[in-house]
């Protein structure tokens, strides 16, 4: 593993690291914030999964999460959103290919060779963190924005018992019925919609529900509301009687200004579960 940078940050360290990934067959880069408490022993971990076009860097530099993670003694991991490199399949569209991994393991060519982001985020990277840093992988929670919110919800519902709490900012809620989903699922997983169900938060909520506390924030002025389909997930939550808090924040859009405005609430929410 290569250390790209390490900077003192709110008493802890914000690092950026790169390594050769078994899952993707590429070099992968991630950000990791360790609070001061990690100098004395393992600390709980909150994953932040980012959205379309993002790298590890967007949330790391724009969400403002480190200050509140430091207050609670929680580590933050910011993975990349896809494999990258000259030999990695890509597309001219911003919402397919590099920067748009959708946190799934592709089965279709040319994507299957490298696009194994579910395996990377849920298996390889947690083991790497536990082996090199003071991380307690027995205490994990997860959040994300947009495509990353989709990832946070679907990973949590398909890995019961893994995460102590789950939250999302403006998540893609029903990708099987959205242009932010149908095109990508067809490319990565093929035409069989049965495969899509494992990666659709609304369908998973209807079929399985969630075994952890859930907080979702979305903006009333979100310019991508028709693509997110928040109302579909809200209906599934209500039909299942799933304990959850879903808030529509008046006047907020899809940007990191929105994320940074409510990140303190999300860190408080996760800290309560992680330190319980």
- Catalytic residue, candidates 222, 232, 266, 270: 222
Q: Is 260 a catalytic residue?
A: no
- For the chain, give the number of residues: 276
CA pair distance 274, 72, nearest whole angstrom: 10
Q: How far apart are CA 236 and CA 207, in angstroms?
A: 9
The one catalytic residue in 145, 150, 254, 270 is: 254
Distance separating alpha carbons of residues 102 and 166, to the nearest angstrom = 17
Q: Is 114 a catalytic residue?
A: no
The reply to whether 72 belongs to the active site is no
Q: Answer yes or no: are the C-beta atoms of 218 and 230 closer than 8 Å.
A: yes
Residue whose token pair is 């899509």: 196
Among the listed residues 21, 82, 141, 146, the single catalytic one is: 146
Are 157 and 181 in contact by the 8 Å Cβ rule? The answer is: no
Question: Is-contact 171 150, C-beta < 8 A?
Answer: yes
Cite the active site residues: 146, 222, 254
């Amino acid at each position: 593993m290569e250390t790209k940078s390490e900077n003192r940050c709110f008493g802890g360290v914000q690092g950026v690291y790169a390594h050769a990934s078994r899952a993707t067959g590429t070099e992968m880069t991630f950000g990791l914030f360790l609070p001061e408490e990690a100098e004395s022993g393992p600390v709980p971990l909150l994953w932040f999964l980012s959205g379309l076009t993002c790298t590890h860097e967007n949330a790391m530099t724009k969400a403002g999460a480190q200050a509140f993670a430091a207050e609670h003694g929680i580590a933050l991991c910011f993975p990349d959103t896809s494999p990258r490199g000259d030999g990695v399949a890509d597309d001219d569209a911003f919402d397919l290919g590099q920067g748009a991994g959708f946190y799934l393991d592709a089965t279709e060519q040319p994507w299957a060779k490298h696009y194994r982001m579910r395996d990377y985020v849920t298996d390889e990277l947690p083991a790497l963190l536990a082996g090199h840093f003071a991380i307690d992988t027995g205490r994990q929670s997860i959040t994300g924005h947009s495509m990353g919110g989709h990832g946070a919800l679907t990973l949590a519902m398909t890995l019961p018992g893994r995460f102590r709490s789950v939250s999302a900012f403006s998540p893609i809620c029903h990708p099987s019925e959205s242009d932010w989903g149908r095109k990508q699922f067809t490319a990565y997983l093929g035409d069989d919609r049965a495969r899509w169900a494992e990666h659709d938060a609304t369908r998973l909520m209807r079929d399985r529900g969630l075994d952890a506390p859930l907080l979702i924030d979305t903006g009333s002025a979100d310019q991508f509301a028709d693509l997110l389909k928040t109302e579909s997930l809200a209906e599934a939550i209500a039909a299942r009687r799933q304990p959850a808090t879903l808030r529509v924040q008046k006047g907020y859009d899809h940007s990191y200004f929105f994320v940074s405005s409510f990140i303190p609430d999300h860190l408080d929410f996760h800290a309560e579960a992680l330190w319980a």
